[in-house]
C-alpha cells in the first residue's frame, strides 16, 4: 500500500512539473475558433469548419494525455499518429457503404455539392474519426478508476470462440442487409464480430489479448472514450450546416441533439469495430505486435 501511495505521489509531482504541450494549445485554439465560426456564421460552413474543429479536439486530447501520463499517441510516433487519420477515412466510408442499405442517416445540405466536392469534404471530415476515438479512449484509460477495475468474464482466443464470433458476425451482417428496418443496429456489431477473429488468426493485435485474461479495462476505456467523443460529435453537429440527421424504424424517441437516446448505445460496439478495423489494416502493413494505442497496463 505504501509503495502504491508513493508511486501515485511521484506521478502527481511529475504531472504538476510537466508543461501542457504546445500542440495542445494549438488544438484548443482551433477548437475554440472553429466552434465559434461553425455556430455563428450563416450558410454553408461546416464542410470546411469540421476538419479543423476536430483536429483541434484530437490535438487537445492528445496533449492532455501527455500532461497526465508523460506519453501520448502523437508523442510516441507522429508518423503513426498521421496514420490514424489515413486509416480513419476508409474505415468510415465502409459504414457509409452499409448505410446505403440501412439509410439510418442522411446529410442535410449535401445537395449543394458536386459529387467530387462531396467526396472531398466528406473524406476530409472522416479522417478525424479514429484519432478522436482512440485519443479519448487513451485519456479515459489514464484515470485510476479504470485502472482499478477488477477482472470480468473471460472471452478467449480458442477455436470454438473465434469461429462462433466469425459466423455470428456474418449472420448479423446478412440479416441486416436483408431486413434493414429491423436489424439496422447490427451495423455497429457485425464488423467487430467478423474482424476480431480474423485479427486473432492473422496474429494481429486484438481486444481478446486482454479479455482472455478477464481484463476488460481496454474495452471499458474504448466505451467511455467513444461516448465522450460522441457527446461532442452530436453537440457540434446540432447547430452545424451541412449536418447529419437520423432515420430509424424503431427506437427513435427521446433525442439528445439529433441522436435518439438508444442510438448512443450503438457507439459502444462501434468503438470496438474501429479498434478491429485499425489493427486489421496496420497488421496487413506488417505492424502486428506494436501496442501503439495504450488502453491497458
pLDDT in tens, 92-105: 999 999 999 999 99
Number of domains in the chain: 1
pLDDT over 60 at 1, yes or no: no
Burial class (CB in 10 A: 0-12, 13-18, 19+), 74: buried
Q: What length does the chain have? A: 297
Q: What is the pLDDT of residue 289?
A: 78
Please say if the pLDDT value at position 284 is more than 80: yes
Q: Long-range contacts of range 62-66, CB-CB < 8 Å, 24 or more positions apart?
A: 62/23, 62/24, 62/27, 62/135, 63/20, 63/21, 63/23, 63/24, 63/25, 63/27, 64/20, 64/24, 64/139, 65/135, 65/138, 65/139, 65/142, 66/18, 66/21, 66/24
Q: What is the pLDDT of residue 277?
A: 98
- Model confidence at 291, pLDDT cuts 50, 70, 90, reads confident
- pLDDT at residue 2 is higher than 90: no
Tell me what percent of the residues of the chain surpass a pLDDT of 70: 94
Q: Report the range of poorest mean pLDDT among 5-19, 83-97, 263-277, 279-293.
A: 5-19
Q: Which three cell numbers stand for residue 52?
A: 479543423
- Structural domain harbouring 100: 11-284
Report the SS3 class of residue 256.
strand
Residue 138 near residue 220 (C-beta atoms within 8 A): no
C-alpha to C-alpha distance for 254 and 256, rounded to whole angstroms: 7
Average pLDDT, the chain: 93
Kindly state whether residue 59 falls inside one of the protein's structural domains: yes
**Range with the poorest average pLDDT among 100-114, 160-174, 279-293:** 279-293
Q: Which of 6-10, 142-146, 226-230, 272-276 has the lowest mean pLDDT?
A: 6-10
- Residue 297 counted as domain residue: no
| Confidence at 3, pLDDT banded by 50, 70, 90 | very low
pLDDT score for 11: 53
Examine the pLDDT at 7 and tell me if it is beyond 80: no
Mapped onto helix, strand or coil, the DSSP state of residue 84 is: helix
Write the CB contacts of 8 (distance below 8 Å, at least 6 apart in sequence): 144
pLDDT in tens, 153-191: 999 899 999 999 999 999 999 999 999 999 999 999 999
According to the model, what pLDDT value does residue 4 have? Answer: 44
Q: What average pLDDT does range 142-161 have in this prediction?
A: 93
Q: So what's the pLDDT on residue 274?
A: 98
pLDDT tens for 246-256 read 999 999 899 99
Asked if residue 265 is part of any domain, the answer here is yes
pLDDT of residue 290: 80
Specify which residues 108 forms β-bridges with.
Answer: 243
pLDDT at 13: 53
* Residue 1 maps to a domain: no
Q: Would you state the pLDDT for residue 18?
A: 76
Is it the case that residue 143 has pLDDT exceeding 70?
A: yes
C-alpha dihedral over 237, 87, 264, 207, to 10 degrees? -160
Asked whether the predicted pLDDT for residue 113 surpasses 80, the reply is yes
Element (H, E) at 106: strand 105-108
Would you call 291 helix, strand, or coil by DSSP? coil
User: Could you tell me if residue 4 is inside a domain?
Assistant: no
Percent of the chain residues past pLDDT 90, beyond the cut: 90
Amino acid at each position: 500500500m505504501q509503495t502504491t501511495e508513493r508511486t501515485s505521489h511521484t506521478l502527481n509531482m511529475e504531472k504538476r512539473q510537466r508543461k501542457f504541450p504546445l500542440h495542445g494549445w494549438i488544438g484548443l485554439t482551433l477548437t475554440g475558433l472553429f466552434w465559434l465560426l461553425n455556430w455563428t456564421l450563416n450558410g454553408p460552413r461546416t464542410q470546411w469548419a469540421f476538419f479543423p474543429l476536430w483536429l483541434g479536439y484530437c490535438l487537445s486530447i492528445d496533449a492532455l494525455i501527455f500532461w497526465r501520463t508523460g506519453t501520448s499517441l502523437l508523442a510516441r510516433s507522429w508518423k503513426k499518429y498521421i496514420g490514424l487519420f489515413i486509416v480513419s477515412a476508409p474505415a468510415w466510408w465502409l459504414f457509409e457503404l452499409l448505410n446505403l442499405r440501412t439509410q439510418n442517416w442522411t446529410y442535410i445540405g449535401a445537395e449543394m455539392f458536386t459529387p467530387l466536392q462531396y467526396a472531398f469534404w466528406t473524406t476530409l471530415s472522416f479522417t478525424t474519426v479514429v484519432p478522436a476515438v482512440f485519443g479519448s479512449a487513451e485519456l479515459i484509460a489514464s484515470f485510476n478508476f479504470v485502472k482499478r477495475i477488477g477482472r470480468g468474464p473471460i472471452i478467449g482466443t480458442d477455436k470454438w470462440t473465434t469461429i462462433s464470433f466469425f459466423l455470428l458476425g456474418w449472420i448479423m451482417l446478412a440479416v441486416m442487409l436483408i431486413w434493414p428496418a429491423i436489424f439496422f443496429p447490427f451495423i455497429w456489431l457485425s464488423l467487430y464480430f467478423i474482424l476480431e477473429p480474423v485479427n486473432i488468426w492473422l496474429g494481429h493485435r486484438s481486444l481478446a489479448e486482454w479479455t482472455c485474461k478477464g481484463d476488460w479495462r481496454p474495452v471499458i476505456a474504448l466505451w467511455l472514450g467513444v461516448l465522450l467523443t460522441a457527446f461532442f460529435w452530436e453537440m457540434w453537429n446540432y447547430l452545424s450546416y451541412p449536418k447529419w440527421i437520423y432515420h430509424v424504424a424503431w427506437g427513435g424517441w427521446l433525442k439528445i441533439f439529433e441522436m435518439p437516446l438508444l442510438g448512443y448505445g450503438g457507439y459502444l460496439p462501434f468503438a470496438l469495430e474501429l479498434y478491429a478495423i485499425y489493427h486489421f489494416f496496420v497488421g496487413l502493413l506488417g505492424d502486428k505486435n506494436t501496442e501503439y494505442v495504450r488502453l491497458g497496463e
